[in-house]
Amino acid sequence: MLVAALMGHPFSIPICYDTTFIWTHYSDCGKPCDEIKYRLQPKGLKITQESGFYWKGEPKDSIERFTIVHSSYFPFHDNIDSSSIFQQHHAKKQNIVNDPDTYKIQSDTVEKIGDRYYSIIVIDLYDTLKNKYSKKLLASTTIKGNIVDFRYELLTKRNDSLTNNFINNSKYYLRTIRINNGI
């Protein structure tokens, strides 16, 4: 395991995630809709950066990555309680079941990790026609009223220990994230 410091906060990631990059995913509605994305992945896999202006969709072959996403407009709101994460959890579930790439939720929960609540949604699909496994752990928390997403994603044809343990390993890595209250 490699301990990474991204956004000034340490957390654990697999040692094979040896490539890191950051970019802005622009939107037509401007800065409040633009997203800053931080991605970690193995260097042997194709790098995809969504621009917001021209998007061909997700790669159709191998994906193994961890992405952190937040709005480029990050206002700080004081005195915001953690109840908003429960509302976000419900909204994310509704969006997922309507998305053809993530239509089936295996499990969902809100879990306290450290001193924060995280919405956690697990998608575990197998496409029999394409012989592909698609596994995702989608988590969100709030920092001073702002949503921060953590996405662990795997798309593979291999049925090996990485594939079989991906969700449990992703839960382990998620539980190592610590965000201090000073933000």
* Parallel/antiparallel/unpaired status of strands 107-113 and 63-71: unpaired
The pTM of the full predicted model, rounded to 2 decimals, is 0.86
Q: Rounded distance, CA 24 to CA 140, Å?
A: 19
Q: What is the pLDDT of residue 85?
A: 87
Per-residue pLDDT of the chain (183 residues; tens, 9 = 90+): 223 434 455 678 888 899 888 888 888 887 778 888 999 999 988 777 666 555 566 667 788 999 999 988 877 766 666 778 888 899 999 988 888 777 789 999 999 998 889 999 999 999 898 899 999 999 999 887 788 999 999 999 999 999 999 999 999 999 998 886 554
The Cβ-side half-sphere exposure at 40, using a 13 Å CA radius, reads: 20
The tens digit of pLDDT for each residue in 44-57 reads 887 776 665 555 66
Q: What is the pLDDT of residue 133?
A: 94
Task: Give me 98's structure tokens.
Answer: 């309507």
- Domain boundary assignment for the chain: 2-174
Q: What is the DSSP letter of 46?
A: P
> Which class for 148: exposed (0-12), middle (13-18), buried (19 or more C-beta within 10 A)?
buried
Tell me which architecture the domain covering 2-174 has in CATH.
Answer: 3-Layer(aba) Sandwich (3.40)
Task: Give me 36's structure tokens.
Answer: 């800053």
The tens digit of pLDDT for each residue in 165-181 reads 999 999 999 999 888 65
179 close to 141: Cβ distance less than 8 angstroms: yes
Q: How many helices (H) and strands (E) does the chain have?
A: 2, 9
Q: What is the pLDDT of residue 108?
A: 95
Q: What is the pLDDT of residue 2?
A: 28
175 close to 112: Cβ distance less than 8 angstroms: no
